[in-house]
Amino acid sequence: MASFPDWIVREVRRNKADLRGSAAAGTAAQLAALSLHTVCDEARCPNKGKCFSEGEATFLILGDICTRRCGFCAVKKDKPLPPDAGEPRRVAGLCAKWKLKYVVFTSPTRDDLPDGGAAHFAETNRLIKELSPGIRTEPLIPDLQGDVKALEAVLASAPDVLGHNLEMAAGLYAGARAGADYSRSLAVLSNSKKLRPEILTKSGLMLGLGEKPEELERALGDLAATGCDLLTLGQYLAPSKEHRPVAKYYTEEEFARWAEKARAAGFKAVLSGPLVRSSYRAKALYEEARGRA
């Protein structure tokens, strides 16, 4: 296992301090009052303190239980509950209350649902836009088992960005991403571009799972070939000792070099750094890409 770098200790301390503040407590209380989940909590995001203290959160719809058992993810694995029909309106209402200009929402993978949760995503997106005119939306969807009709349903609700994370290099899928398929994830992004080319697409990769440089280069090339517009690169951090261990901690200089490689591959906007996550600074990344469109 890779040695534990000092920057993680510093960031953990900073986030714990942020979470003790009244602003973060208020964010958490409003979410709890509406029985809403966030990926910040469920995935143990290292930026939770910062985002909560600024009144920001990435909503996790369709419950907090995943039907897959990826070795890197902290979201609970079990039999999920049926979709909550009132959830889309509660999410949309809180977006309006917080006066958000940009929102990211995602879900656990729901292979138990015929459409993978696509209709729930579409309704959430529709209501957010209805209650907050002018807001930009970024649904970060699972692979929907490759169902193109399900993808069409999400796209028909007119999100500004369609996100789907490739997560890792192809060679790591068998050991770390059970139930997922590298080619299927690429197809989600390429099909989105074919169906609605005006909607930006976005993906993310975790570094430090054991990928080789040539495997990471291939992943960047494969993503760029789908027409993917936006990319995030972040350090994998094991949620617990039971999860897949970190193979390598990348330096900030290495993240900068990989960001340059990604831009050279053709991405319109790239965010790369140790604590970068899919929804981190999402609005700024969107605006950067639109400025280069």
Cα–Cα–Cα angle for 153, 158, 164, nearest 5°?
Answer: 70
pTM of the entire predicted model: 0.87
**Per-residue tens of pLDDT for the chain, all 293 residues:** 555 667 666 666 665 554 455 444 566 677 777 767 765 444 444 544 444 444 456 899 999 888 887 777 767 778 899 999 999 999 999 999 989 999 999 999 999 999 999 999 999 999 999 999 999 999 999 999 999 999 999 999 999 999 999 999 999 999 888 889 999 999 999 999 999 999 999 999 999 999 999 999 999 999 999 999 999 999 998 877 888 899 999 999 999 999 999 999 999 999 999 889 888 889 999 999 998 75
Domains and CATH numbers, the chain: 6-292 (3.20.20.70)
